[in-house]
Structure 1
Amino acid sequence: MNTPQAHLVDDDDAIRDALAWLLKSRGLPTATYASAEDFLASWTPDTCGCLLLDMRMEGMSGLDCFDALLARGAALPVIFLTGHGDVPLAVATLKRGAFDFFEKPFNDNELATRVGEAMVHDAHRRAVHASADSINLRIQSLSPRERQIMDGILAGKYNKVIADELNISMRTVEVHRANLFEKMQVKTAVELANLLKSPQA
């Protein structure tokens, strides 16, 4: 996975350099791009951290870049940097999933803090995804019979009831139960139920 960074996109060299210095001085790893096109060319699904995006730029606008990212299924938190006239537009982007926006001139401390929060938010989201992916892989490793046993366990049924319903022996149920617990990395039916109730995003 790529290193989490604040990805800063602004076509104004002076603003870009000043913001990069600000974020790096607060211990936030930062990568800079002179255009939305440059950022999109470097973006991959593993790009992580957050995106600081100027709304108005030469060539592709910040808004067009945001739309392109949404079309790619990107979930990177986006903080827009806007001029006064763009505030209504920025508010509209929040409703479409942007993380926040800051009107120029902005408070350096507030912006740096919010960038840090966006990066924490992204790290948490990725951790939840990784956890969900891990659980799904475990489920996929189960045999059809083990899945049937698991369904019975989750329904609160005793081994004998599961055995009767599936027309197999109690011993067979116990073997499958042990195997599926090992594959799902749990020790009890309660752990199994709690694992499958985990938030999956």
Structure 2
Amino acid sequence: MNTSTQLVFIVDDDEAVRDSMSMLLDTIDIAHQCFGSAAEFLDFYDGSQRGCLVLDIRMPGMNGLELQKELNRREALLPIIFITGHGDIPMAVDAMRNGALDFMRKPIREQDLLDRIQQALSYEAGERSNRATSENLKNLIATLTLKEHEVFKRVADGQANKVIALELGVSERTVEVHRAHVMQKLCVRSLADLVRINLLSSGQLAG
């Protein structure tokens, strides 16, 4: 399977609901796959597949909220749209608190569901891009020596070269050399770029 292709994963124990959603997605050529239980989905999903999850909240065995928590434990990137015919406010709050993108009550207008799915796929693409950017930056930062890394963090935190030199017990010229090496290794040209890389690599800023 091409893991770069986004799929809509439909997990619902009601076959009629699965068939209805499948036909709806077929009408606009959105790739998808259906599962009758959370266990069946987990047997298939290995973390590399892209897309979003349309998930029933009440199912025999592992329910939707339990599946969500398991995916969170695995640090899965799949945005989740919960659907239910019996959901109540506490369940909705629990789902959203744990990162669900939406919580929709059956019956659901087809266009509303399609809109949410498109939003979820866009969100997933952005999150995956941000994670890739963060990992790439961490790899670049890993090439810095210990002294270069100290200078990088202090410069990114807004400290002046003279202050850094005093705190590290080195000359200001040495700080300037380390700073130049940092900028070269991280492929940046300005202080603003260093600050942005520091925030991105620590997950404090979206790419």
Match of 1:48 among 39, 43, 50: 50
Report the counterpart of residue 160 of structure 2 in structure 1. Answer: 157
Q: Distance in 1 between matches of 2:154 and 2:80?
A: 44
Q: 1:87 Cα shift? A: 3.1
Q: Distance in 2 between matches of 1:90 and 1:112?
A: 23
Q: Distance in 2 between matches of 1:37 and 1:152?
A: 48
Q: Distance in 1 between matches of 2:137 and 2:4?
A: 23
Match of 1:71 among 66, 70, 73: 73
Q: Distance in 1 between matches of 2:73 and 2:170?
A: 50
TM-score under structure 1 length normalisation: 0.83
Q: 1:11 Cα shift? A: 2.4
Preserved CA contact (<8 Å) 1:90 1:101:
no
Highest CA radius of gyration, 1 or 2?
1
Which amino acid is 1:109 matched to? Q
Change (3 A) 1:36 1:185: same
Q: 1:9 Cα shift? A: 1.0
Which ranges of structure 2 fall in alignment gaps of 5 or more residues? none
Q: Distance in 2 between matches of 1:8 and 1:142?
A: 45
Change (3 A) 1:37 1:152: closer
Aligned length: 198
Change (3 A) 1:98 1:182: same
Match of 2:103 among 81, 87, 101: 101
Q: Distance in 2 between matches of 1:162 and 1:58?
A: 60
Report the counterpart of residue 167 of structure 1 in structure 2. Answer: 170
Which amino acid is 2:170 matched to? N
Which ranges of structure 1 fall in alignment gaps of 5 or more residues? none
TM-score under structure 2 length normalisation: 0.81
Which amino acid is 1:197 matched to? L
What root-mean-square deviation, in Å, do the aligned CA atoms of Structure 1 and Structure 2 show? 2.6
SS at match of 2:87: helix
Percent identity between matched residues is 32
List aligned pairs for 1:82-97, cutoff 5 A. Answer: 82-83=84-85, 85-92=86-93, 93-97=95-99
Q: Find runs of 4+ consecutive structure 1 residues off by over 6 angstroms.
A: none
Report the counterpart of residue 34 of structure 1 in structure 2. Answer: 36
Stretch of structure 1 that moved more, 85-94 or 130-139: 85-94
